[in-house]
Every structure is written in C-alpha cells, then in structure tokens.
Amino acid sequence: MTDPSNINAGVARLPAASRQLRLGIVGGGGGGFIGPVHAIAARMDNRYRLVAGALSSRPDIARAAGAEWFLPADRSYTDYRDMARAEAARPDGAEVVAITTPNHSHHAIARAFLDQGIHVICDKPMTTQLADALDLRQKVTETGLGFYVTHGFAAYPMVRQARAMVAAGKLGRIGAMHVEFMGDWLTPSPDEGAMPPAGWRTDPALSGPGGAIADIGTHAFHLARFVSGQEVSGLLAQLSRAHPARRLDDNAHLLLRFEGGATGSLLASQVSPGNDCELRFRIYGDRGGLEWSQADANHLWFTETGQETRRIARGGTGTMPAAQHMTRVPRGHPEGYLEAFANLYSEVALDLIARIDGIRSDTECLAAAIADGVLGVAFVEAAVASDRLGNIWQDPRALI
Amino acid sequence: MTDPSNINAGVARLPAASRQLRLGIVGGGGGGFIGPVHAIAARMDNRYRLVAGALSSRPDIARAAGAEWFLPADRSYTDYRDMARAEAARPDGAEVVAITTPNHSHHAIARAFLDQGIHVICDKPMTTQLADALDLRQKVTETGLGFYVTHGFAAYPMVRQARAMVAAGKLGRIGAMHVEFMGDWLTPSPDEGAMPPAGWRTDPALSGPGGAIADIGTHAFHLARFVSGQEVSGLLAQLSRAHPARRLDDNAHLLLRFEGGATGSLLASQVSPGNDCELRFRIYGDRGGLEWSQADANHLWFTETGQETRRIARGGTGTMPAAQHMTRVPRGHPEGYLEAFANLYSEVALDLIARIDGIRSDTECLAAAIADGVLGVAFVEAAVASDRLGNIWQDPRALI
Amino acid sequence: MTDPSNINAGVARLPAASRQLRLGIVGGGGGGFIGPVHAIAARMDNRYRLVAGALSSRPDIARAAGAEWFLPADRSYTDYRDMARAEAARPDGAEVVAITTPNHSHHAIARAFLDQGIHVICDKPMTTQLADALDLRQKVTETGLGFYVTHGFAAYPMVRQARAMVAAGKLGRIGAMHVEFMGDWLTPSPDEGAMPPAGWRTDPALSGPGGAIADIGTHAFHLARFVSGQEVSGLLAQLSRAHPARRLDDNAHLLLRFEGGATGSLLASQVSPGNDCELRFRIYGDRGGLEWSQADANHLWFTETGQETRRIARGGTGTMPAAQHMTRVPRGHPEGYLEAFANLYSEVALDLIARIDGIRSDTECLAAAIADGVLGVAFVEAAVASDRLGNIWQDPRALI
Amino acid sequence: MTDPSNINAGVARLPAASRQLRLGIVGGGGGGFIGPVHAIAARMDNRYRLVAGALSSRPDIARAAGAEWFLPADRSYTDYRDMARAEAARPDGAEVVAITTPNHSHHAIARAFLDQGIHVICDKPMTTQLADALDLRQKVTETGLGFYVTHGFAAYPMVRQARAMVAAGKLGRIGAMHVEFMGDWLTPSPDEGAMPPAGWRTDPALSGPGGAIADIGTHAFHLARFVSGQEVSGLLAQLSRAHPARRLDDNAHLLLRFEGGATGSLLASQVSPGNDCELRFRIYGDRGGLEWSQADANHLWFTETGQETRRIARGGTGTMPAAQHMTRVPRGHPEGYLEAFANLYSEVALDLIARIDGIRSDTECLAAAIADGVLGVAFVEAAVASDRLGNIWQDPRALI
C-alpha cells in the first residue's frame, strides 16, 4: 500500500453519483471485444447496474452469456426490439442502453430504443450512412433523449490534460496537428490468393463505405478536433488497400486544415506490421508542443518553446483538474484503456442522471456528444469522396 | 471498435463464475488510495457484490462513504468488530472481507473476521510483526478459512508471462535476478528542519519495523520469488534514511541469493526523485533474459541468448495461457494496475467459490497465498536484522 | 576494454584504402555547423588528408580557421576560384573538394572546381534551382569527374540494414512508407511582431524556393526512396508558415505515391517544439514492417507479420553485411551522426580512388549519387508547384 | 544542412590546439575492438598525428596493419621496446603512446615508454595488480611525465552535465547512487560442457583477479565517483560465475557507501542476455534526481523534487558549459561512444601540450587521471577481497 497524502494530490475523481443508472446492453455475447469493454466500463465506477441485455441474436449464445453476466433470465433477450418494448414497459426497466454491435446495425437498434423513450450509448461510428446519423439526431432533438457516442480515447486523463493545456493557451497559436491510429490486424498474408474474410470490418454492407477510415480513422479525427479545440475545415484523403481483393480501404492518409489556420495530417492503417493499436497525436504551437501515445498513455510530453521537454505524469505535478478528474490511482500505477472508457461512462452517467432527474450537473460530458458522432460519419463520407474525386479538399461539415 | 477474430487471439479470460461472492470491506472511506482500488478490483469482473463495509471508524465519514458506495445504511458499520458479528449472523452476510486499513491494524481486524468464520482478503504487508502473521496462519490452518494477501503486481499479465517462461525453461538455468521498486513520494524537502509527518508510513508504531522495505520492498521480494520460481535463501541489507529525523528506512539496498544458485539485488526507495512507483525486474539465465517494468506494463522484453531482443505484447504473439487468462482487451489497448488487481480478485473468487461451495477449480490462486504473506513479514524482519547486525546474510525462511 | 571475438561479429568495416585522398574544403570557417562535420567525417577513417581550404571569404576568418585546422598558410584561400586554380596547378593539389557553404553558392563553387578538373563532394540540396543542378550534371557527364551529394543519413548502419532487408524481400510487397524530419529551431516567438532573421535559411534568395521542404524535406525524400528502393511517382504537398512574415515554408506535409504501388506521407517541419532533428521512417509490407528513428539510431525495429517486434541492434544479431560495413564499434556502444557522415565519406573515397586510379571497386557509393542530388532539387520544385497549384499531384521525375 | 545560429547554442568546443601531438600506439592491429577506437578518437579532433606503432607482436600482422594505417614502414614496430627506444631517439619521435593491449601487458609496456621519457595514455584497468599500478604512479611522480587512463565514458557530454549539476547543488544532498554496466557477451551456451575460451578476458593470468568487476566494473566505479563527486568509502561485493568452469566472475553485485553519507549499488555483468553494454547511472538527492544511460547517451533525465521530469538534450536548453565543451553537433544529431572517447583524447591533448610546452591550460583533464586508474585497480582488489572474505565491507582507498 502506498498512499501518503501527497501521492494522491493529482487524483480528483468525478463527483459521486446520487444513484445508479439501470443499464441495458445490446451485443457483447458473441466473443467480440467491445461488448465486455462497455460492461466493464459501466461497472468500474459503480454508477450503473446492468439489468437487461440482448447479448446475441442467437438464443443459445444469448442465454449462456446472460447467465454468465448474471442477468435475470427474463431480461436476457434475443431480439433487441423485444428488449426495447419490454424494458420500456417495466417500472424498473433499463433507463439507458449500450449498443455494441457491428456498425450497420447501430441505426436500427438505436432507433428502436429511442422510440421507446430509452436513452442510448452507441459505439462509433454512429452509423454507416450519414442519413441514418441525421435521422437519429433528429429523433434525439425531438424527444430530448440522451444519445452518447463512445469516443473513449478522448477520456484518457492525459488527453484531457492536452486539451486543457491547449485551451489554456500553453501552446500559443496552433500551427500544426498530426494524429494517427496505426494497427496491423488486417495485414494480408502474402501467400493468400484471395483475401480471407476478416469479419464484418472488411464488408461494405456491414461496415459502410469506409474501412480503416471508419473503424479507426474516426477516432483519430475526433482526437484531432478534441485536443486542438478546432474544427477541421478541410481534408484531402488518399485511401488504399493492401490487397486488390479487399473491398475497403485499410490505409488512409490525409492532409488536414483546421479552421484556426493550422495544418496537419491524419494516418489510419490496419496493415502496418508492428503496430498494436498505436494511437498518437502531436500538436505544435508557437509557445510549445505536446505529444501523446496510447502506448505510453499515462504521460504527456510537453515542450515549451526553447525549454527542455517535460514529462507530465498522470496524477503528478503539472496536471490540471481536467485530467485529475479522470484519475483513479496515483502516478506510477498505470491506468489504461478500460479506465478511459469508464471515465466516459462516468461522465455520461452524471449527464444522464442530471437529465433524467432534472438536476444540474457541473460536469460536462465531453467525449460522447452526438454532434461528434454525426460529424464522424460525415468525416468518413468526406474522406471517401475526396479520394474518389481525385484527392481534392472536402469539408466534412458541409455534408451535414 | 476493433475486434476481428485474430485480434482477440491473445485474450482468454478466466473461467466464468458460477455465482457472485458477497464482499465486505474494512477501510477505504477516508480518502486513502488502496480502499477504492480493492473495490474497483472486486467490481471489474463482476465476481463480487459489495454488501457491507466498515469504511471508516469515524461515523460521519463511514456514513458518507457508505452512501457514496451504495451500501445499505444498516450494513455500513463504524466498528469492524460489529461488522464481523453482524455479518456472520446474517444468512446473506458477507462471505469474505477485504482489509484495506494501515498495516498495524491488519492483525486485529483479520482475527475478528476469521473468528466469525468469514474469509479474509488482506492488503500487504500482512502484519507488522511476524508473530501476528503466524497467529493468523495458525487460525487459518485450524479453521480451513481462506486468507488471501494481495500481492497485486504478480497478477499483471506480463508478470505471469515471465513466470511461465521461466518455468518452461525459456531462460535456461537462472544466473541472476534484479528487482526494484523506486518511488519519490517521501523525498524530504531540503528546507525542512525536522521531517514533516508523511502519514502512518513513517511511524514505526503504525507501520512496523520496516519503512520502504515493508511498504514496497515486500512487493519486490514477492516478485523476485514469483517470477524466478525460486526461494530467496539469503539476503544482505543496507537500510538508510534520507533525513536523520526519519524513523524508518526510505532506501533499502539488498543483495540476494536464490536457492537455485542465482544471485541478485533488490532496491526499494521512497526518496528517488523522478520515480513514480517504478517497479521493475530483470532475470537472466543461460538461455535468455527477461525485463519488465510497470511503466511499460503491457510489454515483456525477451532475449534468447544470441538473438535479437523481442517485445512480447500483452494479448499478442508469443503469449502463453498464463498471461492470456489475465487479459481482457486486445494488444495495443493498455491494461494497468487496476486490471492487475482485478485479476487477483478474480483468482481469489474462483478459489473461494470452489472452497465454499465444495467444487473443484482448475485455476490456481497464484498471487495471494497466505504463505507469501507470512514470508513477506519475515522478509522485513530479516532485512532489518541484517542491517542492524552489520549487513550480514540472513535467511528469511529461518524466522518462520 | 570489451573485445571478445564474438562481440565484434557484427563489425565489418569497409575495405582498407590503398592511399589517402587529398581533400580541399570550401566553407566551414564561420561557425556554421556543417563544415566541421565534413572535416571530421573525412578524418575519421583516415581516408583523406585535408590539404587546402577556402574556409571563409573573410580573410581574417579564413586565416584563423586555416591555422586552427593546420592548413599551410599558402593553401588557406579566401576565394574559392583562386583555390580551384591554384590547387589544380599543383602536382600535390587537392583531388576533391567538399562544398559546405549555403545552398545558393553551391552551383558556382562546384562549377569552378569541375572546370579545373577537381572532383566535388557537395552538401545538399545540390543547388537552389533545378537548371543549375542539371548544368552540373551535364558538366559531370562530359568530364567524367566524380560528383557526390551528401545525403549522410542514408549512411547510418541501420538505414542500410533497412534498405537491405527491404531489398531482400523481408517485408514482402511494400504497401506504405512514412518519413518525417521534425525540428523546432525556427519556431517563432509568439511575442515577436515581425520575424527575426533566422540566417540564410529563411531567405529565398539564398535558400531557393523551398524552406523546410528543401532544408530537411530533401533528406526525408531521399530516405523514402533509398529505403524503399522505389521511386516516388507522385507527391501532393501542403506547405505552410508558422508566421505570416516568414517567406518560406516551415511546415511541409505531403502525400506520396511510389512507383511500386505503395502510398505514404512525408512531414518536414522546423516549427515543432520538442523535436530535435527527429528523422524517422516507417515502412510496411505484407510480410513485415520496419521503424527507425535518428534519436535511437543504433536500433531498427522489425516486425514480421504476426510475430513479436524485434529490436535489431547495430553490430548485433540479424544485421546484414550492408549494415556491418558501416559499423565501427560493437553493439551497445552507440555510433551517431558523425559516424554516418564518415561512412558516406569512406564510400566516396573508395569510389573516387577507383575512379582516379583506374581500379575496380566492389563497394558501391550508395548515398552520394549525383542523380539523387538532382532529383532532390526537382523534389523541392515539384512540392512548391503542387502547393501553389492547389495541392495537386506532381511527379518530381517529370521535371528533369 | 541545418545550422541557424540558435541551433549551435549548446555547442562550445574545447579550445583550439596550438599544435598537433605526435602519437604512437601499441596494439590495435589484431582485430581487437579498442585499438581502432583509440586511433579514431585521436584523429577526430585533429589534435594528434599518428607517427609510429607496434600494432602487433606478429610481424605479418604488424606490417599489414601499419600499411593500412599509413605508418611509415620504419616506424611500424613489432616490439614495443624497440619502438620506445627508437622513437625516443628521434627528434620527431612519438611524444605520447597509447597502450591498447590486453590488461596484463599494460605495466611492462607503460614502464618501457616512461623509461624513455615518453608520455602514456593507457586503457583501463591500468594494470592487473595494484603493485604494478603503484609502480607506474611512482615512476610518473618521479619523472613528471603525463600518464592518462582512459575512462572514456566519463567524457560523454551528458555525463559531464550530470557531474556539473551535482557539483552545482542541483540535486541537493546526495542520498543514493546506483550504477551498472550490463552486458551479455560472455553468456555461456547451456549446451557447452566446459566453457569455451572467451579470449583473454576469462583468463586470470591475462586479466588479473577480476572478471566483470575489472573489465567493466571499473568503468561503473569510476562513473559513480565521477558523477557524485564523492569517494566510495566502502564496498561489499558478491561475485559469481554463470558457469562453474569459468575462472573469473561474470556477475558482480555490490553495495556501496559514499564518504558523504550516501548509499548505493553497483552491478556489472557479462552474462545478462539482452544487454548490449548497457551502462547506466541514477543519482538521487533531496533536491532532485538524475538518470542516464549509454543507450540514450544524448539525453539526461532530470527531476527536481516535486516537478515534472525534464529531458535535457545534448546541445540543448539547460546544458552547462561542462557539457557544451564536449559537444560537436547540434541537439538531435546523436553523438556516441567514439565522440566521448575523442573528448577524452582532446582533453589529454590540451593537458599534455600545456605540460610539454610549458604553457598554462584552463582545461582540466577530468576523465583520465592516473589517480583514478590506480584506484580502479584497488577497487578490483577490494571487491575480490570482500567476496572472498564473506561479503564484508572494504574501503578501496585503504589498499593504496
């Protein structure tokens, strides 16, 4: 145990919840990765209680997963529409549902729950077509329901620290921002004649028009805007595929322009051997620069122009409240991806309880805005259009 | 979302639980660091339900914390003895209690719960005196109750990977092992005339005879044995203090001998500026070497003699089942300290359910053995004796 | 001392020279950085003897520098034309001259020496205008003289290793290459009303039409081609300036296309705080990927698709002859920038002695080809044109 | 080229030499590693001219190496005694000789040159027996000749920076210092029945009583004293061998005490797979801490107590004159082992010219003092004695 008072100096958790939210979940039973991530994230800070689920559309899997997750048998559904109706009808029904299924199903599922008055937490990209995202946005506007898109990387403490430092002017006028999300999990084998199936991610019918640009590029795009505090006013994309038989891009290389005059680049790749979900950003102004990488998530590297580079540690000296509120354990003990996702879930909980119970919250829900979800879908379409039209500038905002 | 089938290849969670355990907790309400860590760890994998707590001996704090943790008001106690009696008397009472208070209170609290037939999870060091640890061990032997000491670092996936590789002979005959736990949170200000209070950690009455050697040295000692698979047959300690007014060691430098013939070193420091809980080990044999650091917890660096150094990533190629069972999310998305602690809690749950329900478990509870807790206390006493007697060799096992 | 036979396994210096070359130098006396670099590089492997210099056009500086460099007084010139004539007239005159002056003077100086039959080693960019580069190329073709452009980074051992691995097919079919050269030495102060002079580098009259794109972008461009073994068939550039008063680009962000079908990106920046000449490349194929950074110049990071990432150490296991020939000291003892530059000088020496003395050399002079120098100037012009014409694709080869 | 005035701010070379020294060398022709290192180091800054050598005792090797090094045939000797006599008799004879042969021969060779009035630069350890070192010291005292022992690591710029910061009080009162030199080049194969020969390094007759402790431990010991500015007042050593058939230690683990009250540790190993000459130190005081590693030689990591860790770059902000005088190229372009060795040679040159020519030098020759060479031999003997006597404290100074 290691808890002298000073070592907790950089730890300032979010406000306690007045109560727990009743959460339902769709997807997650079939061995995919993101369903359990949502469940752990919801559980970590004790702000949710999982009460219902449609964990799989296959009855046997749904049943087994429901038992494993300790769902009551009668609230472990196989059809999300049944779930939406039944939970809406219960006085103790799910207040909010987390959608963790493949992209193409997000719209229908979200719509089913919104139609029943149930708030939604939706994985990204929000939908595979912009029209669907706009439809959900309109429904949300009409109903006043909460709709949250999980750009979970934006809830890493040191990402918040970066955003806060930029907003506070520590970097001066921003000149350039570079962001990238590099993976290798779709690297084709050189021996395969035709590409093997790589799950729904390489199928346009299930993933939408974007491959890497949608799957991970949207995260990079969100981070670029989130950290810089500036909208991307232009993008110029070159999309490519590592294998001719692949139907969606697996390499996306973009030039960026920001509304404040900065320029930059965005790389997204699923075919870069040696990269394990390497998400990074670099942002430079005339007063200083910042660099961050998920692989070293607990540190932010800050250089004031003309000074030595400094390593700001999560929980340590130099952290600002924006980061401290995302911090659970003292500096040195690493927090990771699940903690970031849980931070997002905690912010959603505070926002949602305030909304449902009609109370005021001082905590902004920064990383889950529906507007960012909609813009993420527009980003994919703008990038695909830029590439198709011969690598010309597109403004993703113009599509909305 | 990023879940093509191959990316989950290195993820193989522990067996699902047949039921949840009813958990009580002592300590954790007063703003310390380790109480919430236990609570999150218990919650993460959904294997425990927190049903009762003595979160503080101060009624106001206990009440506020109990509300924040959503404990029923009548099961939020201010006296652990009341809690032990009351919970033992309930048919739905806590089956197991987590003790997260300062070291000097571990023995009395643990004894109170064991006396009521309640299993115990205890933070380390297990007690401040060896006699107390032996008393608990005897009680446990007599009653057949479970007693688990939380050497949580040993549940990091890549620590398990290291242990499994050593056991599989990947390193050959072990020649040397170096382990260290370096911090800076007690670095004295050069301006202070006398030392300020640094909490109970620098008070022998509350911490026992060891400072850094007990607070963090025990973790390093546990790792040395855990990873090498060998007992430490000798230690020679030099303990020192950064400030004459300090009453316990804050720097501990030890030479080690292992029963298999290897030699090594152990460093523990609370006064090394720039170190944020830097826990590391290095182990070398005639077939290869391994290096690991908590600061880069998701990688293990492996060198086969004469080959390039390889970076084994948690969840990636080269991982063995021992690591995969400790893994929740694919390679690249970092897991951290809380996940390691949750791994330990999950292993304890499997062990305890098997014990309580009389069923067989194939999962060994590796990182929480009471024998390791007892030996950790003996280690502190042996190190203090070695230093006091002029830096001579001591065998910690000889004290038990 | 550390020299058991095995530790030298990865050290295989270039063939010994049959004699030393007589070297002259132009520039270097005025406190600039690159002049002494050439001098040290020439001296390191004992293949040159400095016999003459025009170290500065200012007589006092030329005299002082000549004395400091131990030049005979009568061979320390102030006018490079005098030097060219005088040295050509001596039987023991300089055989080759190193030009280390600012860019705009390269053409005239090089021409003066070529006209006198003296071989030339020229810093990059070769000239500030493509016409001048083509003029020199024609002169060289006519005379058969040697002309070497110092792309020194391409003589780092681990850059050679990367090139050799790509050529040997270790990466399979190349899909993407990213290269960058990031600095911060021209970051403007936020307080300055108008930009201060930053030497000749920000003056188009002295530097030519490119700023960062010429000063450092040419190095990145050379590396992209050198390592991939492929020509860049298209580039699309976005050039920008951190301050409106600056007259040349200080940020250059490019998309690339390679003739073999790969895509990629190139970043060059002089205004990215925290970057100290950070030159990096990443190259990915379907069999594997490689990453290298000047900041960790002695290691190359190699991932075979589906395998653990491996760290290949200069001088260590896994190195190929191409790297071993660039290696002087065993693995672990770092070699740096000057050693790389000296490697280039050694290759030039072997090539030049073969040329002058009419003997055959088995050593290719890889990093100093005049064709690469010419293409580097075309690259700058193509990038400037791409940006000016609205960020459209340009083929630098089409300009030649 | 990258040389705006500001980027050279951290570059401040040593004073220019008034003339070149005439250097002879003994050893270096036989393919060993350290001979060429001395030659390059002498050449790099143009302060020496190699005029004579006894590059090997085998005539064919000596002749071939002499030709390759461009020695006049009549000054390429096969017997160092002949060389000493002949060079002493020439008006243009070698003024100073570099001894780069195996340890056991240092004494006789050094003595031969001192007897002829020729100054000596000697690799470390100075001798294999303390009596021999003391003999040389006495001879030097009597004759007033220069005798320099090449502790080259102490001439790394960032090692100088560390020393200067400690001396300036930036770390406050020093509490602990840890130093280590870890290699793997003698790791035995697990398959070999008896140990193979590993050159003269594992033969007590040629290496003296110490293995790793002498070969590399002396470097670590020198650094500990050099950086801390404190004498080691006590050491307690545990020496071991990775294989029973080995006759000298290959693992040395020591506890240290410093005269100022600090404690620490020293590790030296030749059998730690994955370590390529990893030389590191860490030093901690009550005002701050410093960490340095040869693998990242161009950076020094500085933490003021309670502040963020800062990365001080060679040639960059925060460097002190002591480091700047050891710096040739701007920050970002790495300098390495050969540059450090050349720094030492440059300091020796300044010192020696001042001595020979009777002029005053403001440059202290910090890293090559004979006193440090003698103490290094005493260190080996003290460590061996400590181990043999049962790991008891020894003061190396007491042996002299």
The pLDDT assigned to D4 comes to 39
- Residues of C within 8 A of D201 (CB-CB) are 4
The pLDDT assigned to B34 comes to 85
The pLDDT assigned to A1 comes to 33
- List chains adjacent to chain B, taking adjacency as at least 3 C-beta pairs closer than 8 Å: A, C, D
Residue B287 contacts residue B165 (beta carbons within 8 Å): no
**B96 is written with which tokens?**
């197991």
Cα D82 from Cα D54, distance rounded (Å) = 9
Q: Tell which residue, A368, A190, A171, has the closest CA to residue A289.
A: A171
Give residue D119's pLDDT band: very low, low, confident or very high (50, 70, 90).
Answer: very high
The pLDDT assigned to C34 comes to 85
- Confidence check: pLDDT of A245 > 90: no
The pLDDT assigned to B200 comes to 66
- Confidence check: pLDDT of B18 > 50: yes
Residue D202 contacts residue D356 (beta carbons within 8 Å): no
- Confidence check: pLDDT of D339 > 80: yes
- Please state, for a pLDDT cut of 90, what percent of chain C lies above it: 83
Q: Tell which residue, A336, A339, A372, A341, has the closest CA to residue A98.
A: A341
Rounded to 5 degrees, what angle do the CA atoms A321, A326, A329 make? 105
More reliable by pLDDT, B196 or D258: D258
C137-165 tens-digit pLDDT = 999 999 999 999 999 999 999 999 999 99
B307·C317 Cβ contact <8 A: yes
Query: Which residues is D149 bridged to in the sheet?
Result: D122
A175·C305 Cβ contact <8 A: no
Instruction: Find the mean pLDDT for residues B3-28.
Output: 81
- Please state, for a pLDDT cut of 70, what percent of chain C lies above it: 95
B310·C313 Cβ contact <8 A: no
The pLDDT assigned to C1 comes to 33
Cα C379 from Cα C215, distance rounded (Å) = 12
- Confidence check: pLDDT of D194 > 60: no
The pLDDT assigned to B50 comes to 96
Nearest to A273 among C238, C267, C305 (CB): C305
Task: Looking at the complex, report in whole angstroms how far the Cα of residue A261 sits from the nearest Cα belonging to chain B.
Answer: 31
Residue B227 contacts residue B302 (beta carbons within 8 Å): no
C62-88 tens-digit pLDDT = 999 999 999 999 999 999 999 999 999
The pLDDT assigned to B191 comes to 65
Give residue B366's pLDDT band: very low, low, confident or very high (50, 70, 90).
Answer: confident
Cα A378 from Cα A209, distance rounded (Å) = 11
Q: Tell which residue, A293, A191, A194, A179, has the closest CA to residue A241.
A: A194
Task: Looking at the complex, report in whole angstroms how far the Cα of residue C165 sits from the nearest Cα belonging to chain B.
Answer: 15
Query: Which residues is A232 bridged to in the sheet?
Result: A258
Instruction: Find the mean pLDDT for residues C333-344.
Output: 97
Nearest to A391 among C189, C236, C269 (CB): C236
φ and ψ of A373, to 5 deg: -65, -45
- Confidence check: pLDDT of D200 > 90: no
Cα A331 from Cα D289, distance rounded (Å) = 17
Query: What pTM was estimated for this model as a whole?
Result: 0.96
- Please state, for a pLDDT cut of 70, what percent of chain B lies above it: 95
Instruction: Find the mean pLDDT for residues B352-371.
Output: 88
The pLDDT assigned to C198 comes to 61
Residue C249 contacts residue C210 (beta carbons within 8 Å): yes
A176-220 tens-digit pLDDT = 999 999 999 999 776 665 555 566 667 787 778 999 999 999 999
The pLDDT assigned to B5 comes to 40
More reliable by pLDDT, B360 or A74: A74
- Confidence check: pLDDT of A53 > 60: yes
φ and ψ of A143, to 5 deg: -90, -20
- The number of angstroms, rounded, from the C-alpha of B298 to the middle of its chain's C-alpha atoms is 18
Nearest CA in chain D to A10: D306
The pLDDT assigned to C4 comes to 39
The pLDDT assigned to C361 comes to 78
Give residue D27's pLDDT band: very low, low, confident or very high (50, 70, 90).
Answer: very high
- Confidence check: pLDDT of D3 > 60: no
B205-249 tens-digit pLDDT = 877 899 999 999 999 999 999 999 999 999 999 999 988 888 999
- Residues of D within 8 A of C336 (CB-CB) are 298, 333-336, 339
Q: Which residues contact A246 (CB under 8 A, 6 or more apart)?
A: A186, A188, A195, A202, A211
Which residue numbers of C have CB closer than 8 Å to B's CBs?
Answer: 302, 306-313, 316-318
Give residue B3's pLDDT band: very low, low, confident or very high (50, 70, 90).
Answer: very low
A215-243 tens-digit pLDDT = 999 999 999 999 999 999 999 999 999 88
- Residues of B within 8 A of A338 (CB-CB) are 44, 328-329, 335, 338-339
- Residues of A within 8 A of B313 (CB-CB) are 276
- Confidence check: pLDDT of C193 > 70: no
The pLDDT assigned to B364 comes to 79
- Confidence check: pLDDT of D1 > 50: no
With H, G, I as helix, E, B as strand and everything else as coil, classify residue A281.
strand
The pLDDT assigned to B188 comes to 79
- Please state, for a pLDDT cut of 90, what percent of chain D lies above it: 83
**C-alpha pair distances (Å), B207 with each of B124, B204, B241, B271:** 11, 5, 15, 17
Q: Tell me, what DSSP letter sits at residue A16?
A: P
Residue A206 belongs to what H/E stretch?
A: helix A204-207
DSSP codes joined into one string, D88-153: HHSTT--SEEEE-S-GGGHHHHHHHHHHTT-EEEEPSSS-SSHHHHHHHHHHHHHH---EEE--GG
B45·A40 Cβ contact <8 A: yes
Identity of residue D56: S
- Confidence check: pLDDT of B365 > 80: yes
Give residue D13's pLDDT band: very low, low, confident or very high (50, 70, 90).
Answer: confident
Q: For chain C, how far is it from start to end, CA to CA, in angstroms?
A: 52
D190·B287 Cβ contact <8 A: yes
Residue C156 contacts residue C312 (beta carbons within 8 Å): no
Q: Which alpha helices (DSSP H) does B168-216 contain, by range? A: 204-207, 212-215
Cα C214 from Cα C376, distance rounded (Å) = 8
Nearest to C185 among D4, D68, D216 (CB): D4
Environment class of B364 (CB within 10 Å of its CB; exposed 0-12, middle 13-18, buried 19+)? exposed
- The number of angstroms, rounded, from the C-alpha of B68 to the middle of its chain's C-alpha atoms is 26
Residue A265 contacts residue C267 (beta carbons within 8 Å): yes
A336·B336 Cβ contact <8 A: yes
Q: Which residues contact D320 (CB under 8 A, 6 or more apart)?
A: D161, D164, D165, D168
- The number of angstroms, rounded, from the C-alpha of C264 to the middle of its chain's C-alpha atoms is 21
- The number of angstroms, rounded, from the C-alpha of B116 to the middle of its chain's C-alpha atoms is 25
Residue B318 contacts residue B165 (beta carbons within 8 Å): no
Residue B28 belongs to what H/E stretch?
A: none
Is the peptide bond preceding residue A125 cis, with omega within 30 degrees of 0?
yes
Instruction: Find the mean pLDDT for residues A40-64.
Output: 95
D311·A307 Cβ contact <8 A: no
Nearest to B178 among D240, D267, D304 (CB): D267
- The number of angstroms, rounded, from the C-alpha of A309 to the middle of its chain's C-alpha atoms is 29
Residue A154 belongs to what H/E stretch?
A: none
A342-365 tens-digit pLDDT = 999 999 999 999 999 998 877 778
Identity of residue B4: P
Nearest CA in chain C to D333: C337
Torsion of CA A395, A398, B1, B5, to 10 degrees: -80
Residue A256 contacts residue A283 (beta carbons within 8 Å): no
Residue C315 contacts residue C11 (beta carbons within 8 Å): yes
Residue D72 contacts residue D97 (beta carbons within 8 Å): no
The rounded mean pLDDT for chain D is 93
D47-57 tens-digit pLDDT = 999 999 999 99
Instruction: Find the mean pLDDT for residues A148-159.
Output: 97
- Confidence check: pLDDT of A285 > 90: yes
D263·B178 Cβ contact <8 A: no
Cα C337 from Cα D279, distance rounded (Å) = 21
Q: Tell which residue, D300, D287, D165, has the closest CA to residue D227.
A: D165
Nearest CA in chain C to A172: C190
The pLDDT assigned to B331 comes to 94
Q: What is the residue whose two structure tokens read 């259009």?
A: A385
Nearest CA in chain B to A270: B2
Identity of residue C57: S
Give residue C244's pLDDT band: very low, low, confident or very high (50, 70, 90).
Answer: confident
- Please state, for a pLDDT cut of 70, what percent of chain D lies above it: 95
- Confidence check: pLDDT of B32 > 90: no
Environment class of C73 (CB within 10 Å of its CB; exposed 0-12, middle 13-18, buried 19+)? exposed
**C-alpha pair distances (Å), A167 with each of A49, A164, C66:** 35, 5, 53
Rounded to 5 degrees, what angle do the CA atoms B48, B50, B52 make? 140
**C-alpha pair distances (Å), B389 with each of B81, B229, B361, B393:** 40, 29, 46, 9
Angle at which helices B337-357 and B34-44 pack, to 10 degrees? 60
The pLDDT assigned to A32 comes to 75
Task: Looking at the complex, report in whole angstroms how far the Cα of residue D4 sits from the nearest Cα belonging to chain A.
Answer: 14
Looking at chain D, which runs of residues are DSSP E strands? 21-26, 48-54, 96-99, 119-122, 147-149, 174-182, 232-240, 251-258, 263-269, 278-285, 288-293, 299-304, 309-313
Cα A267 from Cα A212, distance rounded (Å) = 9
Nearest to D309 among A306, A307, A310 (CB): A310
Query: Which residues is B254 bridged to in the sheet?
Result: B237, B266
